[in-house]
């Protein structure tokens, strides 16, 4: 298989890339800082265009939309959450996912069974609303909605779309107090992506295989 992973330079993205390569698959990783195969700032349309040109004519069997930001930790409802944080959060976590899918849709259609895996979060769920982190929660809810709608529109093209909660992972984003290791999350997600099919398209699942409430 040929797998494209956004945000593959660290954390869960890097771990997924390592697992797939160890299985003998071809992996194209992207990173904003240029440290992977393709330099891609998902918030920049011109970067998506350049990626599409680089990969033109090459089938993509699985696109993993993993790149994301969480900039609003510690913000307060009284004085925090400035407009520029909202703009950055949605440009990366929502628009960036859509632009990546749009750019590589021709490649996914070249695969006999193309798949898209979108990394969202349990913080997207309407059933979990403890307050705070408004930008991150709202953007992850939006990308969950995006994935659900894409699963309907892409069904007739034979492309399955899954949305996933990777767990609370010990990364730069998740922090040292998080529940699970990067390797545990990546291993679980890989199994979820393998199981994704047209029968389960539109699913919202946890890294360890449970259906997550919307």
Residue 178 has a pLDDT of 64
The DSSP letter of residue 156 is: G
Among 65, 67, 56, residue whose Cα is nearest residue 109: 56
- List the domain boundaries for the chain: 2-206
Round to whole Å and give the CA distance between 199 and 214.
18
Residue-wise over 95-109: b if at least 16 C-beta within 10 A, else e? bbbbbbbebbbebbe
131 — pLDDT class (breaks 50, 70, 90): confident
CA gap 163, 21 in Å, rounded: 22
Task: Give the whole-angstrom CA distance, residue 141 versus residue 214.
Answer: 9
Angle (CA) 23 28 30, round 5°: 130
| pLDDT score of 148 | 98
Mean residue pLDDT across the chain: 95
Q: Give the pLDDT of residue 179.
A: 77
* Confidence at residue 174, expressed as pLDDT on a 0 to 100 scale: 65
Give the residue among 159, 181, 155, 157 at the shortest CA–CA distance from 168: 181
pLDDT in tens, 43-66: 999 999 999 999 999 999 999 999
How many helices (H) and strands (E) would you count in the chain? 6, 7
Q: What is the pLDDT of residue 173?
A: 65
SS3 state of residue 7: coil
What topology is assigned to 2-206 in CATH?
Rossmann fold (3.40.50)
Residue 167's pLDDT band, with cuts at 50, 70 and 90, is confident
Measured CA to CA, the distance from residue 129 to residue 135 in angstroms comes to: 13
pTM of the shown model = 0.95
Residue-wise pLDDT for 182-209, tens only, equals 999 999 999 999 999 999 999 999 999 9
Exposed e or buried b for every residue in 129-163, given b needs 16+ CB within 10 A? eeeebbbbbbbbbbbbebbbebbeebeeeebbbbb
Q: Where are the alpha helices (DSSP H) in the chain?
A: 11-22, 45-54, 83-90, 96-110, 134-153, 182-195
């Amino acid at each position: 298989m040929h797998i494209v992973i956004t945000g593959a330079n660290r954390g869960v993205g890097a771990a997924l890339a390592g697992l797939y390569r160890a299985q003998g698959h071809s992996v194209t990783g992207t990173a904003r800082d240029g440290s992977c195969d393709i330099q891609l700032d998902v918030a920049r349309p011109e970067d998506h265009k350049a990626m599409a040109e680089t990969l033109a004519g090459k089938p993509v069997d699985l696109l993993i939309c993993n790149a994301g930001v969480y900039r609003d930790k510690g913000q307060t409802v009284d004085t925090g959450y400035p407009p520029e944080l909202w703009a950055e959060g949605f440009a990366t976590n929502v628009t960036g996912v859509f632009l990546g899918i749009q750019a590589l849709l021709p490649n996914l259609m070249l695969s006999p069974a193309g798949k898209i895996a979108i990394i969202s979060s349990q913080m997207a769920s309407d059933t979990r609303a403890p307050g705070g982190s408004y930008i991150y929660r709202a953007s992850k809810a939006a990308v969950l909605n995006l994935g659900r709608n894409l699963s309907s529109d892409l069904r007739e093209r034979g492309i399955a779309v899954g949305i996933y909660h990777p767990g609370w992972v010990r990364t730069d984003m998740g922090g040292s107090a998080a529940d699970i290791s990067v390797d545990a999350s990546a291993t679980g997600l890989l199994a979820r992506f393998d199981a994704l099919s047209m029968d389960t398209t539109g699913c919202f699942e946890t890294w360890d295989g449970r259906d997550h409430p919307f």
